[in-house]
Structure 1
Amino acid sequence: MGGMAGLGRRGVLALGAVTLLAACTAHAKSAGGTKVRTDLEPLERRFAGLGPLSGAHWLGIVLGADSRGSVPGPTDVRLVGTAQLRRGTVAAVTGASQQSFQPAAPTQLPEELAEFVPEDAGWVRSDSFDHDMTAGTYTGAFYLDPGTDTVYFDTTNPSAPAGSGP
């Protein structure tokens, strides 16, 4: 009987270690292996100013979820990715606006998205265009490539404009 209890206790300890290891592995995977999404609706709703989108590849990355000892509360989400705009959209936006677009390359590109970003992109960016897109309600940067009509967006907590429905 004594041998059974010892085995049972060891078994429980081993099971606990396996569970802990699985939890750590799952967390690491969600942090580093976020799934690339291709659905358009969440992007078109939030970034209506870009017009119809296609060929999107993006990530929704939860920020600060692993900070120890923090009070649970709203979680920040980074929405980052690329999408194809209707042909001529970038030229129309950068050519017609008084928003002084300047050459600028995106920073902090997630590894998962690298293959979807045009290699020879001639990115341009404008602070005032960013502000128009975010309506000042969240932070975000929008890089446009006139050569491929691609947008690269890197935003935190983007919200759909008020009055755009649920």
Structure 2
Amino acid sequence: MGDMSELGRRAMLALGAVTALGAVTVLAACTSTAKHADSGKVRTDPEPLERRFTALGPLSGAHWLGTVLGNDSRRSVPGPTDVRVVGTAQLRANAVAVITGAPQWNFRPRTPGQLPGELTEFMPKDARWVRSDSFDREVTGGTYSGTFYLDPGTNTVYFDTTNPSVAASTEP
């Protein structure tokens, strides 16, 4: 019986080592995500946005932030890290009119909230924002949270998302 007890103890120690290794791997992945998020630095590259928001088509004039959410100075148990991706971009000519004109989306006037100060200067002046819950679901594929405000007058999108994934977006 002593051999079985020793075997069980060894199995528990091995399981603990595997769990600790997994926690280190998750922590490394979170740190990598945080480094890529560059909190506070306005980015202008449209490619990461185009891969995530394919329903919007080609983008230009992008100004956006990736901010790690819930980051604190205390060391806690490693876990998933949420990243807020928020910003503006230009759609191709008349793309916003085509999207907002489609009756299935039911766009309505709405004003964006929680705009980071670093992006204020990139918002179009006198924009007439419209938004559609069903269009938001189309862009996100229902796999992450996100809101997309469109301004037909400037062909601009303002997006505010959490953990946007490449595979979630659908083709227009």
User: TM (normalized to structure 1)?
Assistant: 0.75
Which residue of the partner structure matches residue 64 of structure 1? Answer: 70
Which residue of the partner structure matches residue 15 of structure 1? Answer: none
Structure-to-structure mapping, 1:38-77, within 5 angstroms: 38-66=44-72, 68=74, 70-77=76-83
Q: Deviations over 1:34-82 (max 9, x none)?
A: 1100011100000011000000000000001117463211100000000
Change (3 A) 1:43 1:163: closer
Q: Deviations over 1:103-145 (max 9, x none)?
A: 0010000000000001200000000000000000000000000
TM-superposed CA distance for 1:162, in Å, is 5.9
SS in 2 for 1:49: helix
Which residue of the partner structure matches residue 109 of structure 2? Answer: 103
Letter in 2 for 1:114: T
Tell me if structure 1 keeps the 8 A contact 2:140–2:168: no
Unaligned regions of 5+ residues in structure 1, if any? 1-32
Which residue of the partner structure matches residue 30 of structure 1? Answer: none
Change (3 A) 1:57 1:67: same
Letter in 2 for 1:116: F
Tell me if structure 1 keeps the 8 A contact 2:86–2:159: yes
CA distance in 2, matches of 1:59, 1:100: 28
Tell me the percent identity. Answer: 72
Letter in 1 for 2:129: W
Unaligned regions of 5+ residues in structure 2, if any? 1-38
Tell me if structure 1 keeps the 8 A contact 2:139–2:168: no
Tell me if structure 1 keeps the 8 A contact 2:68–2:84: yes
- How many residue pairs are counted as aligned between the two chains? 132
Q: Deviations over 1:85-105 (max 9, x none)?
A: 001001000112311101001
Change (3 A) 1:99 1:163: closer
User: Which shifted more, 124-133 or 95-104?
Assistant: 95-104
Runs ≥4 residues deviating over 2 A: 67-70
Letter in 1 for 2:95: T
Pair 1:153-2:159 in alignment: yes
Change (3 A) 1:108 1:91: same
